[in-house]
Amino acid sequence: MKLKYLLPIAFIALFFSCSTDNDDNTTIVNEVEGLELIQTIVNGNETIELYNEKGMFETGYNMISLRIKDNTTDSYIEDATLSWMPMMQMPTMEHSSPKSTISKALGKDTVYEGFIIYQMTNTDGSGWSLTLNYNIDGTDYSVTETISVMQYENQNTASFMGSDGTKYILALIEPKDPSIAVNEMKVGLFKMENMMTFPVVEDYTIALDPRMPGMGNHTSPNNTDLTYNNADNFYYGDLSLTMTGYWKLNLKLMNTDDDVLKGEDVTDENEASSLYLELEF
């Protein structure tokens, strides 16, 4: 037997001989592996940990994982219920943003998750706070902390007024890692009912026309318009990317009567829609 086969066996033998010496056979699983810590918020006996893939909040769609640590026992709470309220303080008013509920992450004991879509921020990342409400064993707790939200380099979210007089927020969710292929495009569409409430908009249609402005504004074949999926409340379509570089995803939003609420066709005379998202890879 060659050494390279023998070595792993030696390691496995060593590992098992060590673990049998140990009375405590519980394997310590890192439930936030692959995630980066954004911030911790201390509130009395609890410390709340916020994580995502980048370790920072950015404008647009943010998938966020949370854990609550009991500071006395140094262990994570497994049966809490949580809710949150992001808030942006502006010179003349304050407003919230589209967000999901918070639920236990699938297959995890200590991790909760949800999303927040920050539709704007100040250039230095300031302006936002996050209130976390949680219940542990029948007792309610609440904490509010300042957070930083950095401006993402491309337009991955759009806030606009529709021709129906309603304010909407659109956010790009997928593709996260675009490739030269037909990519699944996923967006969230919300309406601004008031400063605090941003319900999902159902059953509209979002027409898609991706273009490369740097290359004669060419498009790509086999794109499809985005339609609403009532299983997860997001919109899905096919986004065809034929080369790497900067793409402008020109969009047109239509309501259930097919009235155009925002956006225009791209033509020889009109190089872009007033409603668009951007992508670069």
Among 77, 82, 88, 117, binds Cu ion (CB under 5 A): 88
Q: Which is nearer to Cu ion, 18 or 93 (CB)?
A: 93
Q: Which is nearer to Cu ion, 110 or 119 (CB)?
A: 119
Backbone angles phi, psi at 134, to 5 degrees: -145, 155
Element (H, E) at 129: strand 128-136
Buried b / exposed e over 192-202, threshold 16 CB at 10 Å, is: beeeeebebbe
Q: Shortest Cβ distance from residue 169 to Cu ion (Å)? A: 11
Q: Shortest Cβ distance from residue 121 to Cu ion (Å)? A: 8
Compute the Cα dihedral for 123, 274, 98, 68 and give only its sign. negative
Q: Which is nearer to Cu ion, 48 or 149 (CB)?
A: 149
Question: Considering CB under 5 A, how many residues would be counted as binding Cu ion?
Answer: 3
d(CA 254, CA 89): 31
Footprint of Cu ion on residues 108-127 (CB under 5 A)?
A: 120
Q: Which is nearer to Cu ion, 90 or 161 (CB)?
A: 90
Taking CB atoms, the residue at the shortest distance from Cu ion is 88
Q: Shortest Cβ distance from residue 127 to Cu ion (Å)? A: 6
Residue 158 and residue 275 in contact, taking contact as beta carbons nearer than 8 Å: yes
Compute the Cα dihedral for 125, 131, 135, 141 and give only its sign. positive
Footprint of Cu ion on residues 237-256 (CB under 5 A)?
A: none
Interaction of residue 149 with Cu ion, rule CB under 5 A = no
d(CA 132, CA 77): 15
Q: Which is nearer to Cu ion, 88 or 173 (CB)?
A: 88
Interaction of residue 87 with Cu ion, rule CB under 5 A = no
Q: Shortest Cβ distance from residue 120 to Cu ion (Å)? A: 5
Interaction of residue 90 with Cu ion, rule CB under 5 A = yes
Total Cβ atoms within 10 A of residue 86: 20
Residue 60 and residue 171 in contact, taking contact as beta carbons nearer than 8 Å: yes
Total Cβ atoms within 10 A of residue 241: 22
Which residues of the shown chain bind Cu ion in the complex (CB under 5 A)?
88, 90, 120
